[in-house]
Amino acid sequence: MRALLQRVSEASVSVDGQIIGEIGPGLLILVCAMQGDGDEAATALATKISKLRIFRDEAGKMNRSVTDAGGSVLVVSQFTLAADTSRGNRPGFSTAAPPAEGERLYLHFAEALRDLGLPVETGEFGADMKVSLVNDGPVTIWMDSDA
């Protein structure tokens, strides 16, 4: 699985002009299931993210996890993270998991974060979503379960 994490002061996702998920301080996670990914990859990535120390401690150092900081998580599916730009000018997405499997793994990933005690909001898989955020730092981190 691939994930793009953004430490945020606030974030929201809307569909058809209606906010369907929003958080205060925490993480916006754009996530994409790749071909060959399974439940283990989704769970492992969720666990790693929950422990990633990218929030400021009392001294201003990035030394606290989203869990330690009492933050929330907004998970939004984004198959375009599978983009292959190695040929031509139009990205290919053939390495993304098929839609049904992608949705299943996306939901499993969000549930794995909940199981770790994090408050989680989500977008709507496959919908035309509008995402708003205030990036804190800015801090943006790319993660891949294969790495």
Catalytic residue numbers read 78-80
Contact 128, 77 (CB under 8 A): no
Half-sphere exposure for 133 (CA within 13 Å, toward CB): 23
**Among 37, 64, 62, which residue's Cα sits nearest to residue 51?**
64
**Among 131, 127, 109, which residue's Cα sits nearest to residue 22?**
131
For residue 125, count CB atoms less than 10 angstroms from its CB and return exposed for 0-12, middle for 13-18, buried for 19 or more: middle
